[in-house]
Structure 1
Amino acid sequence: MKQILFFILCLLIGISGSLKAQSSFSKSKGAIGITYSGLGDNDAYYFESLVGIGGYDGKGYYSLGITYIRPITKRLDIETGISYSKYKYRVSSAPMPDPPAPYNITNAVVDIPVTVRWNFLKYFFLNGGLLLGIDTGKENHLDRQTGIGAMIGVGVKYDLKNVPVGFFANPYFKMHSLLPFSMEKYHQRTDESGFRFGVVYSLP
């Protein structure tokens, strides 16, 4: 909830400053780059309140990706790409006589996002959109996260002078399987909040 409130505040600030915004790539065919995400929290939970189930405590994650940013207008870019993320969780069993000790699990998800960047105040942007998540984990301790998810974030960017290279840092919140492809009645969702860092090359 704290992350959602933070991003709402950033959205309101962005609206007030967006009139002078301009995409860094508006004079090119866009930019391609590599990204790293981490330095945040992850969680797994059910939307419903269920009794007699175990708990999942997120223990960190990392993500590596390739991104492509394409200008739409002077202020708007569309961003897509692909990323591979690996997550750690600490699983505790439901209360029962002599429950087993908590244990660790890992899960991996490949994301294909389609998001929009709204540039403002020259060095800043808001971004958000949908993503296709493909669960590639081999363990069955966690509901499969294949489905449609969403993300929202705010970022800062800087382009080097005289060379077509830029950098960005992007605090974000992401949720997987908002619309899961599996048919479970009570589906487990996962989310993450953290920082995404990128290095991009502007295409001529």
Structure 2
Amino acid sequence: MINKYLLICSLLILSLDSFGQAQNELIIYYGASSSEFLRNESLIGTGSSEIKDQSEFGIKYLKHLNENIALETGVNYHNSTISIKPAFTVETREVRDENFELISVPIMVNYTLWKYFFVNGGALIDFQITQNSTNSQDGIGYAFGIGGQYDIQDLTIFINPNFKKHSLIAFEKSNNHQKLTELGIQIGLGYKF
């Protein structure tokens, strides 16, 4: 019985030691995307919205578990302008612009293919900062992408085209919830330590 516990403790200590050898990476990035609020079904007679001037920046932290697999997290800040076009009525209503800001925390897996390419994907936990005419994007979504990277000693230059769907599981339930959907690209610089 004691030998069993000694064996388990020894394996845990050895695995912690090997996990300590894994490399960390900190990345700063900037991104741009084409975004749209999508519904499950279209509604007739409602207004519309258009997202413009969107950009994002953030910090990623990668914990490399081995040569190919890393856990990826961080903080992403999305900023854009939503142009709201009210539904047609007898009264004239003007188009108005609203600021839209969203903070996302990714919890993803990053898998390196060969030496210069990677795929990443996982969950997004989203928190909308601004109040808007659109549905709140607070909730859990997902993201996935494929990218390229080039290492220069401890520095990494990367590009990451990606797809994101926000508020897949909304914290606030509503009928025919609008979900922010993005097709974008991130470029950045990382440092391995």
Aligned to 1:34: 28
Whether the 8 Å CA contact 1:32–1:69 is kept in 2: the answer is yes
**Separation in 2 of the partners of 1:178 and 1:144?**
11
Deviation at 1:177, TM superposition (A): 0.2
Deviation at 1:27, TM superposition (A): 6.0
2:98 matches 1:108 = no
Deviation at 1:135, TM superposition (A): 0.6
Whether the 8 Å CA contact 2:68–2:112 is kept in 1: the answer is yes
Aligned to 2:168: 178
Structure with greater Cα Rg: 2
Percent identical pairs in the alignment equals 29
**Separation in 1 of the partners of 2:53 and 2:70?**
30
Tell me, which stretches of 5 or more residues in structure 1 are unaligned? 1-25
Aligned to 2:149: 157
Q: Deviations over 1:30-81 (max 9, x none)?
A: 111211111x311112112222211111213111211101112322111101
Whether the 8 Å CA contact 1:45–1:56 is kept in 2: the answer is no
Amino acid at match of 1:105: E
Amino acid at match of 1:187: H
Check 1:104–1:158 CA distance in 2 against 1; reply closer, same or farther (3 A cut): same
**Separation in 2 of the partners of 1:87 and 1:147?**
19
* SS at structure 1 position matched to 2:89: coil
| Alignment partner of 1:193 out of 174, 183, 192 | 183
**Separation in 2 of the partners of 1:146 and 1:183?**
10
2:66 matches 1:73 = yes
* SS at structure 1 position matched to 2:75: strand
With structure 1 as the length reference, what TM-score do the two structures score?
0.80
Check 1:27–1:155 CA distance in 2 against 1; reply closer, same or farther (3 A cut): farther
Whether the 8 Å CA contact 1:42–1:87 is kept in 2: the answer is no
Whether the 8 Å CA contact 2:100–2:132 is kept in 1: the answer is no
2:109 matches 1:119 = no
| Alignment partner of 1:93 out of 65, 77, 86 | 86
Q: Deviations over 1:161-200 (max 9, x none)?
A: 3xx1111100111111011000212211111111111211
